[in-house]
Amino acid sequence: MRAVIQRVSEASVKVEGEVVAKIDKGLLVLLGIEEADTKTDIQWLSKKICNLRIFNDSDGVMNHSMLDVHGEAIVVSQFTLHASTKKGNRPSYIRAAKPEIAIPLYENFILQFEKDLGKKVGKGIFGADMKVALLNDGPVTIIIDTKNKE
């Protein structure tokens, strides 16, 4: 799994002009799923995101996690995070999981993330043409790949 995590002051997702998710202070998580992903990836990534200390404390130092600030979250599935641009100019998405594999993993990630966070999270609609709006706070953007735990 690959995630792009953005600390936001606000974020929303629209599908066909209708808002399907909206948050204030928290995280927008763009989630790319590949066929090799497992429950272990889900559990590790969810805990890692919940505990990332990327929110400012009273001294303006990034010392607080989502759990500390009681932040909100939106998770959006994004297969393009697994784009390969090695050959030519047209990205290949061969590493991205097909919907029959990706949808259950996406839904299980959301369930695990809600459990770890202790609250419901907003989500996009898998496979839909989504319009994602955000006000990146900082800006703070972190990329995490469960296959390359740096």
* pLDDT tens, the chain, 150 aa long: 999 999 999 999 999 999 999 999 999 999 999 999 999 999 999 999 999 999 999 999 999 999 999 999 999 999 999 888 988 899 989 889 999 999 999 999 999 999 999 999 999 999 999 999 999 999 999 999 999 887
Give pLDDT, residue 150.
Answer: 72
Phi, psi of 126 (to 5 degrees): -55, 130
- How is residue 84 written in tokens? 């390969």
Find out whether 32 and 78 touch, Cβ atoms under 8 Å.
yes
Taken in order of first residue, the domains within the chain and their CATH numbers are 2-145 (3.50.80.10)
3-state secondary structure of 47: helix
Give pLDDT, residue 11.
Answer: 98
Q: Is 85 a catalytic residue?
A: no
One of 80, 85, 141, 146 is an active-site residue; which one?
80
Task: Give the number of C-alpha atoms closer than 13 A to the C-alpha of residue 42, restricted to the C-beta side.
Answer: 20
Give pLDDT, residue 95.
Answer: 87
How many Å apart are CA 62 and CA 54, to the nearest integer?
5
Q: How far is CA 146 from the centre of its chain?
A: 13
SS (H, E, C) 109-145: HHHHHHHHHCCCCEECCCCCCEEEEEEEEEEEEEEEE
How many Å apart are CA 131 and CA 20, to the nearest integer?
10
Give pLDDT, residue 144.
Answer: 97
Give pLDDT, residue 20.
Answer: 98
How many Å apart are CA 12 and CA 8, to the nearest integer?
10
